[in-house]
């Protein structure tokens, strides 16, 4: 038990030191307006360099990632069925699926799944 505590303390210390060093070394010392502006053949840019990003696309991508991760969690549940009890397995999987369906229903009511509006 002491070995595990000591190892975790050493790992936490090492990661904290590495994060502090990375934070200190990555700071830019001089912020120049000309260097941070977009360069277009030596002239001032004609158009804005930032293209507006569709928030709807971002929401659909996040919803896709959430459901993708949830599917990745559901697949091992099929493999764990023989090793666990049928009652506990079915209860856990039903609760998980109900949570997924409630989340989908909420997103549908909020209009996050409607692309053209």
Domains and CATH numbers, the chain: 2-110 (1.20.58)
DSSP characters over the chain? -HHHHHHHHHHHHHHHHHHHHHHHHT--S---HHHHS--BTTBPPSS-SPPPPPHHHHHHHHHHHHHHHHHHHHHHHHHTTTTS-HHHHHHHHHHHHHHHHHHHHHHHHHTTT----
Residue 16 confidence (pLDDT):
95
Residue 81 confidence (pLDDT):
82
Whether the CB-CB separation of 89 and 78 falls below 8 Å is answered with: no
Residue 113 confidence (pLDDT):
75
Across the 117 residues of the chain, what is the mean pLDDT of every consecutive 10-residue run? 91 94 76 64 64 76 84 84 85 88 86 72
Residue 53 confidence (pLDDT):
73
Residue 36 confidence (pLDDT):
67
Residue 9 confidence (pLDDT):
95
Euclidean distance between CA atoms 18 and 13, whole angstroms: 9
């Amino acid at each position: 038990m002491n070995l595990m505590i000591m190892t975790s303390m050493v790992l936490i210390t090492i990661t904290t030191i590495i994060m502090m060093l990375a934070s200190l070394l990555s700071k830019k010392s001089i912020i120049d307006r000309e260097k941070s502006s977009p360069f277009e053949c030596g002239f001032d840019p004609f158009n804005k360099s930032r293209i507006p990003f569709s928030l709807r696309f971002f929401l659909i991508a996040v919803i896709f990632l959430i459901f993708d991760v949830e599917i990745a969690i559901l697949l091992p549940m099929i493999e764990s069925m023989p090793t666990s009890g049928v009652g506990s397995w079915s209860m856990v999987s039903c609760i998980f699926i109900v949570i997924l369906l409630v989340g989908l229903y909420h997103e549908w009511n909020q209009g996050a799944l409607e692309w053209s509006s």
